DNA sequence: TGTAATTTGTACGTATGTATC
DNA sequence: TGATACATACGTACAAATTAC
């Protein structure tokens, strides 16, 4: 699933995989995406890398994070 | 200079200090800001924290980074 | 021409704090 | 109380590109 040795950074690979899960509808609007710990386990990566992937999705406007709560699909203020 | 135990994150304290050095003219447009290693030594912080501080300045549009070269005051396209 | 140093980029691991549930 | 989840911060290591010598 993840190629740690490829030219594409792992955090971007993970972000793209999560983005695909959002596009497919598996992760629906205003529903939480997997937690950092879950992402770490699912993809076998470090926590810092998982955080970077989520940060990238946030920059893309695909998700929003509520501190100490979780990260959700879509945009805040519903 | 840096208060590691205060409510303000270290990376933001460092970013603000660097921003002040830019405002004062000590760091002039299109001149490099201190390297990550230098920032680490100057402020006694970890490199990851220094990188976050620089990333914050980048988000604020105060600096731009040229990979493998350095980070410079102002905006690209000179 | 070749080598070493510099600098940013990526990735991992660990620890602690704070807020929520 | 305890578990969960994000925020911050430390340290370490290696890669890639540029620069200096």
Per residue of chain B (78 residues), give pLDDT as tens: 899 989 999 999 999 999 999 999 999 999 999 999 999 999 999 999 999 999 999 999 999 999 999 999 999 976
What's the Å distance between residue B32 CA and nucleotide C2 C1'? 28
- In chain B, where the domains are located: 10-73
Q: Determine the Cα–Cα distance for residues A29 and B43; give it in Å rounded to an integer.
A: 42
Backbone CA torsion sign across A40, A36, A72, A64: negative
Region A58-64 average pLDDT:
91
Tell me phi and psi for residue A11, to 5 degrees.
Answer: -65, -30
What's the Å distance between residue A31 CA and nucleotide C8 C1'? 36
The answer for residues whose C-beta is within 8 angstroms of residue B59's C-beta and 6 or more apart is: none
The answer for residues whose C-beta is within 8 angstroms of residue B31's C-beta and 6 or more apart is: B72, B73
Strand C positions closer than 7 A to protein CB: 6-15, 17-21
Residues with CB under 7 A from strand D: A 35-38, 47-48, 51, 65, 67-71; B 4, 9-13, 44-49, 52, 67-69
User: What pTM did the predictor assign?
Assistant: 0.88
CATH number of this structure's domain A10-73, picked from the four choices 3.40.50.2300, 1.10.10.10, 3.40.30.10, 3.30.70.1430: 1.10.10.10
Q: Is B21 strand, coil or helix?
A: helix
Q: What is the CA radius of gyration of chain B?
A: 12
Burial of A66 (0-12, 13-18, 19+ CB in 10 A): exposed
Q: Determine the Cα–Cα distance for residues B9 and B5; give it in Å rounded to an integer.
A: 8
């Amino acid at each position: 699933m993840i190629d740690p040795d490829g030219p594409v950074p792992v955090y971007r690979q993970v972000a793209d995989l999560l983005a695909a899960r959002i596009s497919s509808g598996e992760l629906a609007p205003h529903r939480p995406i997997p937690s950092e710990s879950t992402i770490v386990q699912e993809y076998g990566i470090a926590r810092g890398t998982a955080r970077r992937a989520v940060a990238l999705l946030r920059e893309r406007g695909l998700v929003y994070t509520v501190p100490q709560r979780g990260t959700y699909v879509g945009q805040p203020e519903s």
